[in-house]
């Protein structure tokens, strides 16, 4: 979720705080039961328009009236409406998996495939990516950010080689390191050497000329060795590949291919509040279920907006809350929510009919018929909307 600008503003002065107190007081006086977010909205508007006390009181009154009118009705089938509102635009979305969104250098899955990925709560998403922000003092420090980028991003030997020779006569591989490139990438020379020595036992190091020998002397081995040398990872965080540095509104941001939130957050200078990933399971693991819920909302909404479709947050919230209600991220479908329903008939009518009926019979399950589909199946009114209330006529005496 985007950071709350409100709290930043608060630093600006006590004026706002006082105004907020006033708003709260007026709301109390008007006996309006507003959600928290309203108080902020009203205070901001009051500041923007420089409202007088009288105007403010009238405003609160008007909003109260509007709020009463806009409230959900009891028994409303919010679930179905949310599902339809999220599902219906699916037909209008593109299928093209890859899109260049924001950062031209990185591929990100978007459109319907991404939405399905979110709803499925896939463990392995097709294009994990991170946006890494920095703490205030490093935000405009390009040098620092570049250093971090090289620390995070994956570099292989390929990237720092000046000269590469396979010597078939002497059966060895001669590599000359490019010191300039090492410097440019802000890598540590000794560290690289240590890594090389760790990975290859039979290596001879002479300044920045390295010569490798294969374990057994044959051409096949030699060639395999050459590939292995070229692909040796000399720096980077696990699971993260390419990184891209970009200047976004006066601050430097790193975008990555691949994701490893846990490790990155522990690094120095990282803004732990705004740094994020699009891998929901990783967020759940590192930051917990509430964060995962917010991530689902954010990702789903971003996917919709990118396609030019507007879907009210409340619908997406409900989907996210349903997915995370049990304390772990569950998928929507037979392996998640639908497969764990209480009612046998509801499960049987969704998917895997036979399995659920057979299992219910040996377990001696009882269907209490509290859901929608069960009541439709047995032909009774459903416990939703107008079916959730009864009407009693007052008898005249």
Residue 244 token pair: 């891209």
Cα 89 to its chain centre, rounded Å, is 21
Helix (H) or strand (E) holding 83: helix 78-87
Residue selected from 119, 132, 225, 234 as contacting other proteins according to rule CB under 8 A: 119
Chain position carrying tokens 């020779």 = 165
The nearest distance, CB 381 to other proteins, in angstroms, is 8
Is the CB of 61 or the CB of 288 nearer to other proteins?
A: 61
How far apart CA 128 and CA 195 sit, in angstroms, is: 27
Phi, psi of 161 (to 5 degrees): -95, 135
The nearer residue to other proteins, 20 or 213, going by C-beta atoms, is 20
307, 110 contact by CB (below 8 A): yes
Of the residues 7, 31, 368, 394, which one makes contact with other proteins according to CB under 8 A: 368
Q: CA-CA distance, 48 to 233, in Å (whole number)?
A: 54
Kindly tell me which of 116 and 286 has the beta carbon lying closer to other proteins. 116
Q: What is the x/- site pattern for other proteins, positions 19-38, by CB under 8 A?
A: ----------------x-xx
353 in Cβ contact with 313 (< 8 Å): no
Considering only residues 210, 222, 300, 318, which one is a binding residue for other proteins as defined by CB under 8 A? 318
Query: Would you say 372 and 383 are in contact if contact means Cβ atoms under 8 Å apart?
Result: yes
Taking the complex as a whole, how short is the minimal distance between the CB of residue 324 and other proteins, in angstroms?
Answer: 9
372 binds other proteins (CB under 8 A): yes
For residue 90, state whether it binds other proteins (rule: CB under 8 A): yes
Binding residue (CB under 8 A) for other proteins from 24, 83, 226, 267: 83
Which residues, 37 to 56, sit near other proteins by CB under 8 A? 37-38, 41-42, 45, 48-49, 51, 55
Helix or strand (DSSP H, E) at 144: helix 142-152
Q: How far is the CB of 216 from other proteins (least distance, A)?
A: 34
* Nearest in space to 306 (alpha carbons), one of 112, 106, 82: 112
Nearer to other proteins, 117 or 213 (CB): 117
223-242: which residues touch other proteins (CB under 8 A)?
242
| Shortest separation between residue 87's beta carbon and other proteins, angstroms | 3
Q: How far is the CB of 225 from other proteins (least distance, A)?
A: 25
| Candidate ranges 128-136, 195-203, 226-234, 377-385; the one touching other proteins (CB under 8 A) | 377-385
- Decide whether 107 or 211 has the Cβ nearer to other proteins: 107
Residue 302 in the binding site for other proteins (CB under 8 A): no
Residues comprising the chain, all counted: 397
Which is closer to other proteins, CB of 103 or CB of 173?
103
Judge contact between 204 and 173, C-beta under 8 A: no
Strand 243-248: give its sheet, edge to edge: 243-248, 251-257, 129-132, 276-277
Shortest gap between Cβ of 239 and other proteins (angstroms)? Answer: 17
Question: Residue 292, interface with other proteins (CB under 8 A)?
Answer: no
Are the C-beta atoms of residues 244 and 255 closer than 8 Å to each other?
A: yes
Among 188-196, 199-207, 228-236, 346-354, the segment contacting other proteins (CB under 8 A) = 346-354
In the complex, minimum distance from the CB of residue 118 to other proteins, in angstroms, rounded to a whole number: 10
Rounded CA separation 86/35 (Å)? 25
Stretch touching other proteins by CB under 8 A, among 12-20, 160-168, 193-201, 342-350: 342-350
Q: How far apart are CA 373 and CA 346, in angstroms?
A: 6
What three-state secondary structure class fits 123? coil
Q: Among 13-21, 105-113, 157-165, 266-274, which window interacts with other proteins (CB under 8 A)?
A: 105-113
Local structure of 197: helix, strand or coil: helix
In the numeric block, which tokens belong to residue 224?
Answer: 């395999």
285 DSSP 8-state letter: H
Is residue 306 a contact residue for other proteins (CB under 8 A)? no
| Token pair belonging to 145 | 């950010």
Q: Which of 39, 47, 98, 162 binds other proteins (CB under 8 A)?
A: 98
């Amino acid at each position: 979720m985007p950071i709350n600008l409100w709290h930043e503003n608060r630093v600006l002065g006590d004026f706002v705080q006082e105004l907020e107190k006033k708003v709260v007081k007026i709301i109390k006086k008007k006996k309006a039961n507003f959600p928290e977010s309203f108080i902020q909205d009203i205070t901001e508007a009051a500041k923007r328009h420089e409202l007088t006390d009288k105007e403010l009181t009238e405003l609160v009154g008007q909003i109260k009236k509007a709020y009463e009118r806009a409230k959900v009705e009891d028994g409303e089938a919010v679930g179905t409406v949310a599902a339809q509102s999220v599902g219906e635009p699916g037909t209008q979305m593109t299928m093209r998996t890859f899109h260049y969104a924001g950062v031209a250098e990185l591929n990100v899955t978007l459109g319907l495939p991404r939405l399905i990925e979110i709803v499925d709560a896939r463990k392995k998403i097709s294009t994990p990516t991170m946006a890494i922000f920095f703490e205030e003092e490093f935000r405009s420090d390009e040098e620092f950010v570049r250093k971090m980028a090289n620390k995070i991003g994956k570099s292989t030997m390929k990237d720092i080689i000046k000269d590469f020779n396979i010597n078939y006569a002497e059966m060895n591989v001669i590599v000359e390191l490019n010191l300039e490139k090492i410097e440019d990438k802000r890598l540590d020379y000794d560290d690289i050497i240590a890594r090389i020595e760790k990975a290859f036992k039979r290596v001879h190091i002479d300044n920045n000329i390295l010569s490798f020998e294969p374990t057994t002397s044959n051409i096949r081995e030699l060639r395999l060795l050459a590939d292995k040398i070229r692909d040796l990872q000399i720096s980077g965080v696990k699971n993260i590949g390419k990184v891209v540095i970009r200047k976004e509104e006066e601050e430097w941001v790193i975008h990555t291919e691949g994701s490893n939130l846990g490790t990155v957050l522990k690094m120095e200078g990282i803004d732990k509040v705004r740094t994020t990933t699009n891998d929901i399971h990783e967020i759940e693991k590192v930051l917990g279920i509430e964060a995962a819920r917010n991530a689902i909302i954010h990702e789903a909404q971003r996917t919709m907006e990118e396609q030019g479709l507007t879907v009210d947050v409340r619908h997406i919230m409900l989907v996210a809350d349903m997915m995370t209600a049990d304390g772990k991220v569950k998928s929507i479908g037979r392996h998640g929510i639908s497969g764990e329903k209480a009612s046998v008939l509801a499960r049987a009518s969704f998917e895997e009919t036979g399995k659920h009926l057979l299992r219910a019979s040996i377990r001696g399950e009882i269907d209490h018929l509290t859901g929608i589909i069960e009541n439709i199946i047995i032909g009774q009114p459903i416990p939703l909307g107008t079916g959730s209330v009864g009407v009693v006529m007052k008898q005249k005496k």
